[in-house]
């Protein structure tokens, strides 16, 4: 191993990569082709990110390719707008599909031809039971199913009906095409599953060309085969569908029969992950759109300021397993801090301002103090000049008139350091009629410019601050978890009951240092002592808006403990 190799993180190892390695070693495959197959009926979320990292990751590591395939077989729920957003999210996450962009709908003609082939060979039939009857006939886990009275329709009649279904002669639901497999199978998926249904609605890509659309289980394996996929990676709920996947491809005698391999879904505690529920949150106005920074969507995380490398690192940490995972948000935030710490410039912003007057500082004077953007890496990130003046703002929380013994910030008679500036001592305060402190009066020691005392005296507190003028007004949005329960989808009440009414706090009247004047949406920084922040798309010059990406310290362990959630995990990992 060379010196440079040592700095490249080794790719994750898991049972899927082991299978792929073996398949290449044995000569079963000479190259690897995977695919990520989203249905364009919503935006991507952190669970999809895991699947993307796995599919694109495996392809890249083994020198293969990964296709993006839109599983666009249900025109009622799918939209063009979602396709564009999905492509953008995948690129943002750091993966490139180049020209390997496919749609299940590209193969509608081939899918249809294969269906006629199944009919001709007596492996599929048109069933005219209602949806409810089909469910009833299907049986249960304990009881075998019963044959549909249409099961033994002749090939000619089936072909005729199927062609007329295609021609749009029948109402939705009048007939379906079913695979003829085994109504007594212990696996319900094998009890003559529906493979085509009538939907007389236009499709976003094929327009009015079709009145029948293939079902997911049928379209999926055939699309995999047509695209030459070698390893079809999907989530665990499809394990019981694998026999059907294999049955269809065996019966069609296709040349390419990919291997389906299942892995566990990734879930995030204090979130819902189903696209139906996420869509409800958006449509009911519970959040401000799919890219609301509280959403577990990639668009939301991007807006909140999560760097894509943090999302990838989190997915790698979650690993690829066979057991469903509920990950703590604290772990994701930990990855975010890890990614931001080396790159985010440190600046000062006061979220809840309290005015300070330095009584012995000349009126009208403003001096510029040199302040590095990063305490450990000033060379790489450089520095800026921060104006200091007679009137300043500090954080309201950083002052107490009657502090407890362990309070090391500003209080009457106490001396503290203003970061990069001077040591100042509090002399007196002004109050309003209700007794609230409105102004803190201090004196500064001119000999302490830069923040250290020549006589070597020590102060315990170092505080951030901004000059009253010049500084910039800003709005800051703080976020807490969207739900108060670690698994809101698991009841006993409907998930809406667990929405956190305090998930978003808007602070107006914040002040930030002038170096941020030109910060544009997406700009990330650390407000010293407050956390990492990112400029929101709502931001404008003169009216800056910041989202808090993450606080500086993990607050999840505590929250999870209060909520009695699977906090155990977060706590345990902290103890280790």
Active-site residue set? 39, 265, 275
- Least spacing, CB of residue 46 vs ligand ATP, in Å: 7
Token reading at 511: 């002040």
Location of structure tokens 């009414």: 501
CB of 51 to ligand ATP, least distance (A): 4
Considering only CA atoms, which of 414, 417, 437, 418 is closest in space to residue 426? Answer: 414
Output the six-digit token pair for 35: 């695919």
Q: Enter the DSSP assignment of 110.
A: H
Looking at 181, 234, 369, 411, which residue binds ligand ATP (CB under 6 A)?
A: 234
Least distance (Å) between residue 12 CB and ligand ATP? 15
Asked if 535 and 545 touch (Cβ cutoff 8 Å), the reply is yes
* Separation between Cα atoms, residue 274 and residue 279, nearest integer Å: 9
- 235 near ligand ATP, judged by CB under 6 A: yes
Is 134 or 273 the residue whose CB approaches ligand ATP more closely? 273
Peptide bond into 470 cis (omega under 30): yes
Q: Which is nearer to ligand ATP, 216 or 408 (CB)?
A: 216
Q: Under the criterion CB under 6 A, does residue 265 sit at the interface with ligand ATP?
A: yes
DSSP-based three-state secondary structure for 431 = strand
Among 12, 47, 308, 345, binds ligand ATP (CB under 6 A): 47
By the rule CB under 6 A, 79 interacts with ligand ATP: no
CA–CA separation, 177 vs 167, rounded Å? 14
Q: What are phi and psi of 424, to 5 degrees?
A: -130, 150
Helix 329-340 and helix 556-563: axis angle, to 10°? 170
Inter-residue contact 289 to 537 (CB < 8 Å): no
Q: Using CB under 6 A, pick the residue from 59, 215, 266, 281 that binds ligand ATP.
A: 266
Q: Which uninterrupted H or E stretch holds 473?
A: strand 472-479
Which C-beta is closer to ligand ATP: that of 51 or that of 158? 51
Residue 336 CB, nearest approach to ligand ATP (Å) = 19
Tokens in use for 104?
A: 């299940």
x/- mask, ligand ATP, residues 167-186, rule CB under 6 A, reads --------------------
Residue 47 or 64 with smaller CB distance to ligand ATP: 47
SS (H, E, C) 9-27: CCCCCCHHHHHHHHHHHCC
Residue 224 CA to residue 227 CA, distance in Å, equals 5
Quick check: 14 binds ligand ATP (CB under 6 A)?
Answer: no
Give the whole-angstrom CA distance, residue 276 versus residue 273: 9
Task: Determine, following the binding rule CB under 6 A, whether residue 37 of this chain makes contact with ligand ATP.
Answer: yes
CB of 404 to ligand ATP, least distance (A): 46
50 binds ligand ATP (CB under 6 A): yes
- Tell me 10's DSSP state: P
Size of the site for ligand ATP (CB under 6 A): 16
| CB nearer ligand ATP, residue 275 or residue 302 | 275
Terminal CA-CA length for the chain = 31
Measured from the CB atom, the residue of 321 and 436 that comes closer to ligand ATP is 321
Considering only CA atoms, give the Rg of the chain. 31
51 binds ligand ATP (CB under 6 A): yes
Part of the chain binding ligand ATP (CB under 6 A), chosen from 42-50, 396-404, 419-427, 440-448: 42-50
Element holding 573 (H helix, E strand): helix 567-575
Taking residue 389's Cβ as centre, other Cβ atoms within 10 Å add up to 19
When CB distances to ligand ATP are compared, the closest residue is 47
- Shortest reach from residue 49's CB to ligand ATP, in Å: 8
- Contact window for ligand ATP (CB under 6 A) among 22-30, 137-145, 264-272, 504-512: 264-272
Q: Pick the closer one to ligand ATP by CB: 233 or 394.
A: 233
CB of 574 to ligand ATP, least distance (A): 25
Distance CA(426)–CA(411), nearest Å, equals 6
Site pattern 270..299 for ligand ATP (x: CB under 6 A): ---xxx------------------------
Among 48, 69, 175, 374, binds ligand ATP (CB under 6 A): 48
Residue numbers of the site for ligand ATP (CB under 6 A)? 37-39, 41, 47-48, 50-51, 234-235, 265-267, 273-275
């Amino acid at each position: 191993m060379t010196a440079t190799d040592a700095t490249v993180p080794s790719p994750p190892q898991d049972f899927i990569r082991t299978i792929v390695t073996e398949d290449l070693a044995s000569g079963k495959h000479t190259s690897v082709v995977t695919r990520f197959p989203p249905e364009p009926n919503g935006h991507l979320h952190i669970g999809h990110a895991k699947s993307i990292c796995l599919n694109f990751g495996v392809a890249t590591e083994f020198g293969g390719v990964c296709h993006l395939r839109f599983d666009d077989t249900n025109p009622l729920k799918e939209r063009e707008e979602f396709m564009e957003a999905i492509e953008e999210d995948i690129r943002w996450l750091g993966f490139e599909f180049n020209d390997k962009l496919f749609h299940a709908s590209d193969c509608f003609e081939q899918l249809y031809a294969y269906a006629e082939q199944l009919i001709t060979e007596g492996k599929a039939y048109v069933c005219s039971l209602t949806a409810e009857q089909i469910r009833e006939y299907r049986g249960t886990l304990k009881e075998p199913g019963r044959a549909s009275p249409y099961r033994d329709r002749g090939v000619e009649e089936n072909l005729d009906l199927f062609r007329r279904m295609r021609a749009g002669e029948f109402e939705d639901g009048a007939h379906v095409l079913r695979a003829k497999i085994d109504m007594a199978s212990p696996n319900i998926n094998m009890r003559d599953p529906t493979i085509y249904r009538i939907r007389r609605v236009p499709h976003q890509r094929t327009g009015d060309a079709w009145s029948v659309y293939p079902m997911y289980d049928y379209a999926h394996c055939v699309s995999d085969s047509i695209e030459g996929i070698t390893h079809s990676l999907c989530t665990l709920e499809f394990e019981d569908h694998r026999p059907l996947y294999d049955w269809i491809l065996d019966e069609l005698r296709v040349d390419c029969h990919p291997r389906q391999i299942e892995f566990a879904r990734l879930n995030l505690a204090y979130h819902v992950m189903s696209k139906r529920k996420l869509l409800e949150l958006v449509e009911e106005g519970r959040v401000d759109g799919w890219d609301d920074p509280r959403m577990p969507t990639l668009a939301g995380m991007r807006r909140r300021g999560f760097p894509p490398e943090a999302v990838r690192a989190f997915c790698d940490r979650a690993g690829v397993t066979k057991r469903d995972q509920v990950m703590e948000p604290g772990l994701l935030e930990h990855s975010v801090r890890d990614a931001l710490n080396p790159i985010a410039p440190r600046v000062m912003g006061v979220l809840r301002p309290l005015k300070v007057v330095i009584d012995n500082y000349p009126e009208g004077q403003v001096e510029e103090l040199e302040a590095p953007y990063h305490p450990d890496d000033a060379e790489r990130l450089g520095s800026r000049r921060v104006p200091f003046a007679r009137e300043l703002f500090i954080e309201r929380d950083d002052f107490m008139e009657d502090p407890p013994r362990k309070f090391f910030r500003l209080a009457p008679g106490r001396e503290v350091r203003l970061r990069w500036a001077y040591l100042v001592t509090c002399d007196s305060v002004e109050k309003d009629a209700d007794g609230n402190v409105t102004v803190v009066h201090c004196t500064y020691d001119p000999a302490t410019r830069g923040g250290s005392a020549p006589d070597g005296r020590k102060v315990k507190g170092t505080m951030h601050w901004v000059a009253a003028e010049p500084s910039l007004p800003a709005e800051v949005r703080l976020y807490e978890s969207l739900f108060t329960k670690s698994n809101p989808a698991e009841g006993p009440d409907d998930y809406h009951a667990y929405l956190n009414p305090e998930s978003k706090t808007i602070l107006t009247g914040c002040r930030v240092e002038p170096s941020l004047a030109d910060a544009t949406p997406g700009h990330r920084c650390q407000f010293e002592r407050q956390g990492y922040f990112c400029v929101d798309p709502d931001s404008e010059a003169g009216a800056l808006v910041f989202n808090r990406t993450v606080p500086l310290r993990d607050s999840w362990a505590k929250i999870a403990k209060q909520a009695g959630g699977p906090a155990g995990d977060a706590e345990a990992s902290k103890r280790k």
